[in-house]
């Protein structure tokens, strides 16, 4: 099978590509615009494979997307390209509307035209897999406010109630994908995942930011009281799930993917500090760097995924607990501090693509 993966230089996309090239015999075409968060170094270990091809293309560029589809003739598309940082969406929502909504529309239309030209068997087996987030559902009752709150989980039937420009743009893209299924018959799959973490995560996100700030002796900014709850999913577990869905999932279906690891943000930060104290001990506790800051507007208080459907129907379950996954993650960053520097200053991109990158 040949898979076209949009956003393949991003955090989750690169994990999916590494998984496919390492553990399957499939071919991958990586289509990525290479924004600030796209980093080809995340794919260095597989980029020399004869089964891997890179195309630097913006999903909003219909002419280029058409060219890539015609040239590479993929059997399936995994659509991960997206603007994804909530804080950035609050400060500047325009990029999120353009990439997540207009980009998804452009890709859907190009895919529909391509799909309609396929031979009968290839057309029947084709899949368009849209990768989304649990943030489209809004938030859930918090244990501080609601008895038995832990019984409330996001399911595939949960009504959408996005809170931020980011989650609203992803909700919009989900609706577009389902509409292209209903109206045009495009064989789509949708997955909504909980918070990912692991190696190669861009340093603006919570876990890598806390690790790197702590090592540099900088404040560890925690929103509000730090009592916001997230369900944490190790990125390599997510990559396995996504491949399982695109190969074995039923067209028209939605699958929620979670890690079964609900943690308050402050718990996550405490855990990181304690692991660093063990692996890179210092006289002053890393916890002393924690600084509580004003909460962001519209901050969802709790996310939690019911992943029973994907486990029952496709046989997927996470392999990492939060305790094992966060230990691996902190150790990876300690071993790859030079990667963090290069990804932030763009050194590797310039070396691979030239000064224009």
Of all residues in the chain, the percent with pLDDT exceeding 70 is: 97
For every residue of 212-260, DSSP letters joined together read HHHHTT--EEEETTS--EEEEEEHHHHHHHHHHHHHHPPTT-EEEE--S
Model pLDDT, residue 354: 58
Backbone φ and ψ of 164, nearest 5°: -120, 160
Dump pLDDT digits (tens) for 43-56.
Answer: 999 999 999 999 99
**Residues 60-73, mean pLDDT to the nearest whole number:** 98
| 166 noted as active-site residue | yes
Which of these, 166, 72, 138, lies nearest to 111 by C-alpha position?
Answer: 72
Dump pLDDT digits (tens) for 265-287.
Answer: 999 999 999 999 999 999 999 99
Dump pLDDT digits (tens) for 340-355.
Answer: 888 877 665 666 565 4
CA 83/CA 37 separation, integer angstroms: 9
Question: Is residue 99 predicted with pLDDT exceeding 80?
Answer: yes
Structure tokens at 357: 């990158």
Which of 166, 234, 243, 255 is catalytic? The answer is: 166
Those residues whose C-beta lies under 8 Å from the C-beta of residue 260, and which sit 6 or more positions away, are: 231, 305, 307, 318
Those residues whose C-beta lies under 8 Å from the C-beta of residue 280, and which sit 6 or more positions away, are: 215, 334
Dump pLDDT digits (tens) for 137-151.
Answer: 999 999 988 888 888
Model pLDDT, residue 356: 42
Helix (H/G/I), strand (E/B), else coil: 327:
helix
For every residue of 141-155, DSSP letters joined together read --TTTSTTGGG--B-
Which of 135, 237, 262, 306 is catalytic? The answer is: 135
Model pLDDT, residue 357: 43
Cα Rg of the chain (Å, integer):
20
Question: Is residue 294 predicted with pLDDT exceeding 70?
Answer: yes
Domains of the chain plus CATH, in order, are: 2-201+233-260+303-320+349-353 (3.40.50.720)
| 295 noted as active-site residue | no
Torsion sign across C-alpha atoms 346, 347, 351, 355: positive
For every residue of 152-176, DSSP letters joined together read --B-TTPPP---SHHHHHHHHHHHH
Dump pLDDT digits (tens) for 173-194.
Answer: 999 999 999 999 999 999 999 9
Which of these, 354, 345, 330, lies nearest to 39 by C-alpha position?
Answer: 345
User: What percent of the chain is helix, strand and coil (3-state, nearest 5)?
Assistant: 50, 15, 35
Q: Is the separation of the CB atoms in 177 and 251 below 8 Å?
A: no
End-to-end CA distance of the chain: 30
Structure tokens at 304: 């939690």
| 323 noted as active-site residue | no
**Residues 21-40, mean pLDDT to the nearest whole number:** 94
Question: Is residue 165 predicted with pLDDT exceeding 50?
Answer: yes
User: In which element (H, E) is residue 79 found?
Assistant: strand 76-79
Model pLDDT, residue 280: 97
Which of 134, 139, 174, 237 is catalytic? The answer is: 134
Per DSSP bridges, beta strands 229-234 and 262-264 are antiparallel
Query: Which residues, listed in sequence order, are joined to residue 335 by a DSSP beta bridge?
Result: none
- CB neighbourhood size of 98 (10 A): 15
Helix (H/G/I), strand (E/B), else coil: 264:
strand
Structure tokens at 173: 């893209």
- Per DSSP, helices labelled H in 42-119 are 62-72, 86-91, 94-96, 104-116
Question: Is residue 258 predicted with pLDDT exceeding 60?
Answer: yes
Backbone φ and ψ of 56, nearest 5°: -85, 95
Per DSSP bridges, beta strands 127-133 and 290-293 are unpaired
CA 284/CA 281 separation, integer angstroms: 9
């Amino acid at each position: 099978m040949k898979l076209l993966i949009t956003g393949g230089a991003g955090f989750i996309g690169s994990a999916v590509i590494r998984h496919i090239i390492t553990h399957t015999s499939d071919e991958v075409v990586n289509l990525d615009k290479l924004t600030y968060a796209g980093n080809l170094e995340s794919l260095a270990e597989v980029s020399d494979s004869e089964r891997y091809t890179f195309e630097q293309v913006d999903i909003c560029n219909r002419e280029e997307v058409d060219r890539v589809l015609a040239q590479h003739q993929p059997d399936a598309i995994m659509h991960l390209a997206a603007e994804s940082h909530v804080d950035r969406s609050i400060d500047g929502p325009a990029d999120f509307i353009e990439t997540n909504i207009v980009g998804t529309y452009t890709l859907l239309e190009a895919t529909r035209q391509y799909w309609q030209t396929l031979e009968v068997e290839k057309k029947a087996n084709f899949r368009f897999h849209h990768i989304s987030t649990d943030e489209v559902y809004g938030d859930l009752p918090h244990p501080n406010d609601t008895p038995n709150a832990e019984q409330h989980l996001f399911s595939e039937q949960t009504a959408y109630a996005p809170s931020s420009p980011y989650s609203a743009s992803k909700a919009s893209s989900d609706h577009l994908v389902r509409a292209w299924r209903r109206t045009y018959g495009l064989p789509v799959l949708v997955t909504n995942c909980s918070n990912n973490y692991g190696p190669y995560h861009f340093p603006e996100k919570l876990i890598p930011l806390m690790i790197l700030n702590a090592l540099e002796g900088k404040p560890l900014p925690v929103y509000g009281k730090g009592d916001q709850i997230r369900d944490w999913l190790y990125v390599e577990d997510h990559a396995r799930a996504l491949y399982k869905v695109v190969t074995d999932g039923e067209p028209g279906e939605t699958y929620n993917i979670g890690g079964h690891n609900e943690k308050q943000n402050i718990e996550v930060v405490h855990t990181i500090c304690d692991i660093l104290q063990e692996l890179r001990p210092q006289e002053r506790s890393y916890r002393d760097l924690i600084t509580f800051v004003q909460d962001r507007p519209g901050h969802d208080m709790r996310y939690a995924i019911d992943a029973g459907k994907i486990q029952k129907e496709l046989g997927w379950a996470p392999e990492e607990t939060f305790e094992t996954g966060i230990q691996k993650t902190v150790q990876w960053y300690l071993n790859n501090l030079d990667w963090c520097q290069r990804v932030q200053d763009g050194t590797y991109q310039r070396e691979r693509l030239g000064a224009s990158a």
